[in-house]
Amino acid sequence: MSTDIQTPDFQPTAVTTRVELPGAQANTNTPAVEETGSGHAPEVLGVSGATAGQRQGDSDANITVRPPFGRLDSGETCTVAGAVSAAKDAEQREPPSEQASTTEVLRGIPRLTYSYPPPQAEAAVEPLVESKGLRRLRMASSFATLFLAGWNGGSTGALLPYIEQNYSINYARVSVLFVSTFLGYIVAAAAAGTLSRRVGYGHAMLISIIVELAGNIINTSQQVNFGVMCFGFFVVGTAFATQLGLCNAYFATLSKPLVYTGILHGIYGLGAFASPQVATAMVTRGIPYRLFYTTNIGMNIPVFALAWFAFRNLHALPQHSSERPGEGFSGNALRATLTSRPVWTLAIFLMLYVGAEESLGGWIVSYVLEVRKGTPEGASWVASSFYLGLALGRIFLPPLNVLMGERRAVIIYLALAIALECIAWFVPILASTAVSTALVGVAISTFYAAAITTGGKLVPRAMHADAFALMSSIGQSGSALWPLIVGVMSTKKGIWVVEPTVVALLGAQGICWLLVPKVDRRAE
């Protein structure tokens, strides 16, 4: 016996699902089921076609239900156990009339049992209930937060030669700054999810901005003790990784997470594009490099104010009803996150990706100055062009990724990026290096968003806060680990090792991406 199940109150993001009733005769023409939207409990809305004239074994009854949660993936089953026999028993006791009401037909049906796939296969993301104006304010706040993060991160590569000169240190020693940032990411990975649960999402965001402000004050207050500067980078790294995880978790609740997450990280790229030019302009005019961080402090204040109005009343992102403790999910989100293969695979992919991005963006100025014999202004423009490529790609490529599919798109872009990096490596012309580096930025621009949205489809909602914090923090640790390795190798072999290291990291990303579990193409 087959049924047509529809939930007309929801948006038409329908996914086809087969419903089978026990005891029904096989029917190859069984109509499919359309389920959309999300509810909180199984609810029978109506039954039609069950009349006194039905023969034994007929299968033309139509039952209308609302599913207990979310959109369902294709191929899932929804079994209405006992409905056939119960309906027949009820018919024999008191056959309903041709105009029998829904209540009369349903009387006697003992239970409805829904069988869903494991949470690992769930792709639905329940939207956050908020007004359109508040959503726009929260998105604007997240954009401002990530712009400041990009502004801070993009300036490091441009300032490295001047930091080395100020403290009279080599490549390996100045790379300790990346280690300090790495330690901050590790702290954020361990604490961000817990902080969000204990003080609330909004307060966690505000605390992270205050911590970032403290780190920027440390960096701008002195240029005598390199150890103090390293501590400042540690503080800023902790704050940034926390903000990144929180912003990613919020954007996963939006209606088009891939597109909006791409724009979010594109805004980061715009900040990273602008800051090398400002930093280089300041230091080439004799302004101490430390005073560049006053620009960060100036931005921290309006960013905090915007986050206050946007997030102060947001205590938590919505949980899926099926994933609340005692309702089908263990509630131990952290343990589930730490044992999730997709989470760790994507975290390692992000670590390699961010390592390649930051190694190129962080050391390209030194590479151009030493290997290509460029000017400080020209070197800063190469760095800025790389970040501009990142920004433009993150804003404009997501729709193309949707058409191709994220998995296929990443593989194609990786192949292009490796080819472009080889051109920048082997062709000893500054213009070639600049153009290739900018195009590499475009090619790899959407990898972070693709990994985050893929994780949102593979990981249950109750794990999102911890999973995104872990993925973001472990991923961002690559921005410290791999530039450090490049710095150590550059001290021994020369700064030319930047390009082959980036090529190797891109190749490793390709291998890692192929190990990520596949997402149903229709879910993308």
- What is the tens place of the pLDDT at every residue in 394-441? 888 888 988 898 899 999 999 999 999 999 999 989 999 999 999 999
In degrees rounded to 5, what are phi and psi of residue 465?
-60, -50
Q: Are 262 and 398 in contact (CB under 8 A)?
A: yes
Residue 358's H or E segment, with its range, is: helix 341-370
The predicted pLDDT at position 302 comes to 95
Give 375's pLDDT tier (boundaries 50, 70, 90): confident
Question: For residue range 156-189, what is the model confidence (pLDDT) as tens digits?
Answer: 888 999 999 999 999 889 989 988 988 888 888 7
Domain architecture of the chain: domains with CATH: 1-117 (no CATH), 132-317+332-523 (1.20.1250.20)
The continuous run of DSSP H or E covering 48 comes out as: strand 43-48
Residue 68 has a pLDDT of 42
Burial of 419 (0-12, 13-18, 19+ CB in 10 A): middle
> How would you classify the pairing of strands 62-66 and 43-48?
antiparallel
Average pLDDT over residues 198-207: 92
Residue 523 reports pLDDT greater than 70? no
Closest CA to 349 of 422, 454, 443, 421: 454
H/E stretch holding 63: strand 62-66
- 3-state secondary structure at position 392: helix
| Three-state DSSP class for residue 519 | coil
pLDDT (tens digit per residue) in 112-154: 333 323 333 333 445 677 888 999 999 999 999 999 999 998 8
* Cβ–Cβ < 8 Å for 347, 401: no
DSSP 8-state code for residue 60 = -
Half-sphere exposure of 30 (CA within 13 A, CB side): 20
pLDDT at res. 458: 85
For residue 388, what pLDDT band results from cuts at 50, 70 and 90? very high
Between residues 512 and 323, the one the model is more confident about: 512
pLDDT computed for residue 358 by the predictor: 87
Of 14-23, 67-76, 279-288, which one has max mean pLDDT?
Answer: 279-288
Give the separation between CA 11 and CA 36, rounded to whole angstroms: 6
Contact between residue 259 and residue 399 where contact means Cβ atoms under 8 Å apart: yes
- pLDDT for 319 equals 57
The overall average pLDDT reported for the chain is 76
Supply the pLDDT for residue 305. 96
What DSSP assignment string belongs to 257-307?
Answer: HHHHHHHHHHHHHHHHHHHHHHHHHHHTTT--GGGGHHHHHHHHHHHHHHH
Cα 369 to chain centroid, rounded: 35
